[in-house]
Amino acid sequence: MNWFRRFMIGRNGVDQLSVAFIVMFIVLNIVSLIFPSIFVYILYFVLFGLFLFRMLSKNISARQKENYAFLRFWNPLQKKVVKFFARLKSMKQYKYFKCKQCKRTIRVPRGKNKIRVTCPHCGHKEVIRS
């Protein structure tokens, strides 16, 4: 195992984009089991080649730029998905609505009938049904 450590010195290794490639491999593998197609196999091997190229590359600054560009795309998407599931989980306890002035989302407890809510961001007061 020592030879592998010495071999990987100065190389990019595995980063978040490489992990995304691994997830794509798994998805493509499942898709190829359901819908066997030469296109899926070609795409699989092209992605595998890119994965190996990125992992074994010694041009670390270029690979970091690629990873940064991927993270700029991935992080907002991941935040939206996490926020959606958190909101779905708390749907029974809270009701969500938008402030009419600043358009921010405000969370209020459910089952309180009509309540007067003050927006914590802009101070706009509003009567709503929860």
> Mean pLDDT by 10-residue block, N- to C-terminus, for the chain (130 residues)?
83 89 91 88 90 90 94 96 92 89 88 88 86
104 shares its domain with 83: no
For residue 89, what are its two tokens? Answer: 């989980």
Q: What is the pLDDT of residue 111?
A: 85
Q: What is the pLDDT of residue 35?
A: 87
107 shares its domain with 124: yes
45 shares its domain with 75: yes
Q: How many domains does the chain have?
A: 2
Distance set, CA 126 to CA 52, 105, 115, 119 (Å): 57, 13, 8, 8
43 shares its domain with 61: yes
Contacts of 76 (CB under 8 A, 6+ apart): none
20 shares its domain with 59: yes
Name 128's bridge partners. Answer: 115
67 shares its domain with 123: no
Q: What is the pLDDT of residue 6?
A: 84
119 shares its domain with 58: no
CB half-sphere exposure, 15, CA atoms < 13 A: 21
Q: What is the pLDDT of residue 2?
A: 87
Q: What is the pLDDT of residue 79?
A: 96
Pairing between β-strand 105-109 and β-strand 114-118 as defined by DSSP bridges: unpaired
Q: What is the pLDDT of residue 68?
A: 96
Tell me the whole-structure pTM to 2 decimals: 0.69
Q: Which domain holds residue 105?
A: 94-129
Our CA dihedral for 55, 22, 16, 11, rounded to 10 degrees, sits at: -10
81 shares its domain with 102: no
